[in-house]
Homo-oligomer: A and B are copies of this chain.
């Protein structure tokens, strides 16, 4: 016996009937707005090549660290999920997933996946051990059809624009291919832009299987013709790559630092520091100071070239040594840490914070900073806005806490709409849908409590679902 799968039209709305009715009305006006996805991690190769996705496991299980971290936490070995093992049987991995789907009860992954099952693939039976093969076969068969190619899905998902994220040493070839296709008569018109994520060439402690900081600087030199091992050459190379990214549509940069520390060094200090961190094995304090200084430098470049600056601080990356050595980065072992913004951001803000030409979008994994630091900062500095609830907090309760703790001090207009921030392409509509429902529910409560007029809530619902992202990211 299988159980039915059904997405309730009122899901995620507050239970109180009067509030729910208001939420339902607000949602009706935003449910079908196009999707703006100004920050995320989809692969531009998908849209450049339009090659079909391989199978259910490759598309939906292996790339989703929200999913396999939970399975791993319950003692399920990553090898049984086929992670980093191309020879593993994808159907066997899929069955493990199905048998353990109850672990996701109460999590956003469950909401997103059920949406994918029902809306993208048309399932009307629930995902569980008994339906594992049905799901695997149905999904894998669908993926082989034209309707499930990346570009077709992009269009079906009503995506107006999506931004990917690339390193300065990425060739951007896929973006060039997409733009050529866009320009081709009768070509696909989907808008895919890049975003400039310089961590691999800004973080002296950067490591990955593709090479570390110094390797990356060598590549940067090669790509730009600058000597990226001299500080002036390094800055010129970065400016050049920012321009290259802008030419591929980028409207933003993105900075993923362990902390939010900023610094504002003199040229002399900066040159000396650069010399130290471009030696092998720099001191951790030098590495931190260099990252801090570069945030301020990047803010200055943003004032020059108009790229919006995103800061994503506070993740302790690769917390699990053995897992990192065995499986590499991004395997679910990044853990948030307590993050200070008030003293950390001050050097940057004292240099550039009063400049309305600058737009910095701040994120946090430390929810305690919402009401204590971020809303007061964004409710004062012209250069600051707040990004949506991020990563672990991109969830119904997390988004509610964000609105409840941020709005009273920063208002709605110092926030920037929703980011799906995902590489799980098929879940993008689900993620935006969850955000729209939660925002409509929050607005509905304000209306029900007579803190906002109904017409204001209607305006705000559209702003939160569409207008704020368009404006903040200059889309």
A residues whose Cβ falls under 8 Å from a Cβ of B: 3, 8, 10-19, 69-70, 72-75, 102-108, 110-111, 316, 319-323, 332-338, 340, 342-343, 346, 349-350, 353-354, 356, 365-368, 371-373, 375-382, 384, 392-393, 395-398, 404-405, 407-414, 445-446, 448-453, 455-456, 459-460
Contacts and interface: CB of A to CB of B under 8 A. Distances in A.
Contacts of A343: 316, 337
B323 A410 contact: no
A104 B73 contact: no
A105 B452 contact: yes
Q: How many copies does the complex hold?
A: 3
B336 A104 contact: no
A342 B371 contact: no
A331 B373 CA distance: 17
Contact of A411 (B105, B111, B379, B393): B105
A241 B101 CA distance: 41
Given A336-B342, A397-B408, A10 B450 contact: yes
Given A69-B379, A332-B380, A396 B104 contact: no
B382 A75 contact: yes
Contacts of A412: 105-106
Nearest to A446: B106
A332 B209 CA distance: 47
Nearest to A65: B380
A233 B459 CA distance: 63
Given A380-B335, A407-B106, A460-B105, A414 B74 contact: yes
A75 B118 CA distance: 44
Instruction: Tell which of A336, A397, A404, A409 has the most Cβ of chain B within 10 Å.
Output: A409
Given A10-B450, A379-B69, A382-B74, A413 B103 contact: yes
A12 B73 contact: no
A430 B209 CA distance: 55
B320 A73 contact: no
Given A320-B349, A337-B373, A450 B8 contact: yes
Contact of A372 (B321, B367, B411): B367
A449 B366 CA distance: 26
Contact of A371 (B11, B107, B372, B398): B398
Contacts of A14: 15, 449
Instruction: Tell which of A13, A333, A450 has the most Cβ of chain B within 10 Å.
Output: A450
Contacts of A3: 453, 455
A106 to B, nearest CB: 4
A315 to B, nearest CB: 9
A354 B77 CA distance: 10
Instruction: Tell which of A19, A110, A376 has the most Cβ of chain B within 10 Å.
Output: A376
